[in-house]
Amino acid sequence: MRKRVESLFLLLERIRPTDWQRTLAWAAVAGATGALATLAFRQGLVLIEHLLYGPAAGLVQAAERLVWWQRLLSPALGGALAGVVLVIARRLPRRTPHGDYMEAVVLGRGELETRASLLRALSSACTVASGGAIGREGPMVQLAALTGSLVAGWRNMPVPRRRLLVACAAAAGLTTAYGTPIAGAMFIAEIVLQSLATETLAPLLIASVTAHATVAALVGTAALYRMPDLPALRAPELLLAGALGLLVGLLAPLYLWLLDLARRAFGAWRASLPLKMAAGGLLVGLLSLQSPQVWGNGFSVVNSVLQGEWAWQALLLVLLLKLAAVAATTGSGAVGGIFTPTLFVGAVSGALFALGAAALPFAHLPVPAGAAIGMGAFLAASTHAPLTSVLMVFEMTENYTVVAPLMLACVLAYAVSRLLRPDSVYASSQRQKAAADPRLAVAGDLLRTGTPAVQPGQSIEQVERALLESRWRHVYVVDTQARFLGAIAMHDLAAELKKPHDPASPWPADLLQGGYPRLSRDMPLWEVLAVFERHAGERLPVVDGEGRLLGHVAKTDLVLMLRERLAIS
């Protein structure tokens, strides 16, 4: 019997999952819930558009069916309604100042307000369904991230793990929106977390793959953009791709400057938010009278451009009008994504470049290839994330032919754009992250509750049960007032069980390690790290000023927090 108990202790010690392995399991849960939330929002938009415009292949086709005054007023009415919903959302009492998922991950405690997030998604749906020139991926990712926040809150996870789970759910949302499991994880790692460490990248990949599998099981998967078959590109075409990257590196800062200018212009206008957003929608309506292609995020137009069937005059016109529509929509304060409109600008710019380069005698860059390369280069120049941009375009098109020229164009576009404009389109959150003081983090930020403990006088059998149920190497000892007294080690108890004993007898006092290290709740992170350096275990108890046990800190959470803080510099 004793040998079996000892063998059981050894077996449990070997197969016990670590905190990091459990994190991977929760990342899979976040991936599934994030995918479901994204699919629900997408289906809701499809239903709204069907009710408003009848059966249609997209917002551009819906706009083409409307009479002129309906096409003019629809974005304005949708903008006004979206503004009213946003005003309601901003007046709600909030527990956290960070409403955006990026801010919640890099600045806050990984907490998102449910009502505020739902109202922001509703506001975005009003803008998108009425023809606003903005992406729908923003609210999709926000709702997916909300599910991660809810799961983390339900499990009462500490701050680093909560932030990571929100990031995992956001990666799942991006994966579901674009069908890009690799790029979805890389976007969050490269742009939001700014870390490619295994501790963060592995859970993101698990969440993305789980989201992709969920989508495949429910609705099926396919490449988001269709491209015709292309011949292998020769060295001269690679040179043209590099030239396109350099050109995009010059144009992307102008694009971001235009968006900033629109925000400042609407911000200087002393009017209510619904009125501003109605005015932005009205501008989109006016532009759509000339070209209905300015409606929506531009997905159908990009798919059309990738087939290479547009004349340069039509491409130039729709590019200029779309730029104005995107500036009007985002500048007025609409909630949505800028990702897909940026892909639109890049695709049309790349197609125009390919048409212009057709006059060269030594090289021929196919228009579909130019459009795909332009998408990636413009994305890299705007987000300052070249690796994510390459993977994103490759997964969206499933065309390997363009990968090599795409890599060259993305790196060159990123280098030139960063030289001219150090800030990316996501610079505000990154600047706020850099301003965070790493000295503010304390052990209390990593606190986990539900810590197993026993008391003096309890039986050996109860101590054994506590160790078996927790699968820890130590069980903590507290008195009747919950004051921390020390710990009992698994191997010490195993040695005791080899001796003749009565399981109902109290555990021997000599098992207690009274000098077991402990943390105080307000201990700074660098002191916590110093204690862990002297302690080989995975966890340490946390006590208050009276010595009462509050919970414990896991070493994995400390590593996540420190890696996050070090990324600031």
CA 345 to chain CA mean position, Å: 23
Predicted pLDDT at 243: 96
CB 228 within 8 A of CB 307: yes
Q: Measured in Å, how far apart are the chain's first and last C-alpha atoms?
A: 56
Largest CA distance in the chain: 94
State the average pLDDT over residues 2-25: 65
Q: How far is CA 426 from CA 55, 297, 298, in A?
A: 36, 19, 21
Q: Which long-range contacts (CB under 8 A, 24 or more apart) does 415-422 make?
A: 415/249, 416/245, 416/246, 416/249, 416/250, 416/381, 417/248, 417/249, 417/250, 417/252, 417/253, 417/380, 417/381, 417/382, 417/384, 418/384, 419/249, 420/249, 420/250, 420/253, 421/252, 421/253, 421/256, 421/257
Q: How confident is the model at residue 20 (pLDDT cuts 50, 70, 90)?
A: confident
Measured in degrees and rounded to the nearest 5, phi and psi for residue 524 equal -65, 160
Choose the weakest-confidence range: 161-175, 471-485, 486-500: 486-500
Place of tokens 């590099």: 242
- Does residue 382 belong to any structural domain of this protein? yes
Residue 227, domain member (yes or no):
no
Same domain for 448 and 422? no
Q: Alpha-carbon distance 525 to 145, whole Å?
A: 27
- Asked whether the beta carbons of 169 and 34 are under 8 A apart, the reply is yes
The rounded distance, in Å, linking the Cα atoms of 383 and 33 is 27
At 128-175, the pLDDT tens digits run 999 999 988 889 999 999 999 999 988 888 878 888 999 999 999 999
Buried b / exposed e across 112-149, counting CB within 10 Å, b at 16+? bbeebbbbbbbbbbbbbbbbbbbbbbbbbbbbbbbbbb
Cα–Cα distance between 83 and 251 in angstroms, integer?
A: 31
pLDDT in the model for residue 437? 43
Apex 151 CA angle, 556 and 561, nearest 5: 25
196 and 292 belong to one structural domain:
no
Kindly tell me if the per-residue pLDDT of 347 is higher than 90. yes
Instruction: Give the per-residue pLDDT at 205.
Output: 96
Domain termination residue (choose one: 165, 190, 218): 218
**Greater confidence, 530 or 314?**
314
Mean pLDDT, residues 300-316 taken together: 91
CATH code of the domain containing 462? 3.10.580.10
- Asked if 267 and 388 sit in the same domain, the reply is yes
Give domain status of residue 8, yes or no: no
Give the relative orientation of helices 273-290 and 68-91 as an angle to the nearest 10 degrees. Answer: 160
Provide, rounded to the nearest whole percent, the portion of the chain with pLDDT above 70: 91
E strand or H helix that includes residue 359: none
Question: The CATH number of the domain where 413 resides is what?
Answer: 1.10.3080.10
Same domain, 399 and 448: no
Tokens of 61: 């086709």
Mean pLDDT of the residues in the chain: 86
Average pLDDT over residues 70-79: 94
- Higher pLDDT pick, 245 / 226: 245
Asked if the structure places residue 291 within a domain, the reply is yes
Output the pTM of the full model.
0.78
- The arithmetic mean of pLDDT across residues 234-258, rounded, is 94
Q: Considering the domain boundaries, does residue 297 fall inside one? A: yes
Quote the pLDDT of residue 15.
57
Query: According to the per-residue pLDDT averaged within each range, which of 277-291, 432-446, 473-487 is highest?
Result: 277-291
Q: Tens digit of pLDDT for each residue in 509-557?
A: 888 888 899 998 888 877 888 888 888 778 889 998 888 998 888 887 7
Least confident of 70-79, 134-143, 451-460, 557-566: 557-566
Give how many domains the chain has, as a whole number: 3
Let me know whether 278 and 383 are in one domain.
yes
Q: What is the structure's pLDDT at 522? A: 83
Q: Is the pLDDT of residue 37 over 80?
A: yes
User: Is residue 429 located within the same domain as residue 453?
Assistant: no
* 507 bridge partner residues: none
Q: Is 269 helix (H, G, I), strand (E, B) or coil?
A: coil
Distance CA 131, CA 296 (A): 5
Which residue, 405, 435, 465, sits at the end of a domain? Answer: 435
Given CA atoms 101, 276, 328, 268 in this order, what sign does their dihedral have?
negative
Determine the pLDDT at residue 97.
Answer: 54
Which of 218, 251, 283 delimits the end of a domain? Answer: 218
Q: Other CB atoms closer than 10 Å to residue 424's CB: what's the count?
A: 21
Strand partners, 474: 489
Region of poorest pLDDT, from 73-77, 201-205, 407-411, 455-459: 455-459
> Does residue 552 form part of some domain?
yes
Residues 192 and 158 in one domain: yes
Residue 223 lies in a domain: no
Q: Specify the DSSP class assigned to residue 561.
A: H
Q: Are residues 379 and 451 in the same domain?
A: no
Per-residue confidence (pLDDT) for residue 432, from 0 to 100: 45
| Judgement on whether residues 188 and 277 belong to the same structural domain of the protein | no
Residues 209 and 288 grouped into a single domain: no
Residue 4 lies in a domain: no
Region 194-207 average pLDDT? 86
The pLDDT value given to residue 96? 62
- Please give the helix or strand (H or E) that residue 73 lies within, else none: helix 68-91
Higher pLDDT, 214 or 444: 214
Predicted local distance difference test score (pLDDT) of residue 568: 44
- The first and second tokens of residue 278, run together, are 């109605």
pLDDT band at 214 (very low <50, low <70, confident <90, very high): very high
Q: How confident is residue 566, by pLDDT bands cut at 50, 70 and 90?
A: low
Structural domain for 119, as ranges: 17-218
- Answer yes or no: do 405 and 271 share one domain: yes
Does residue 153 share a domain with residue 240? Answer: no
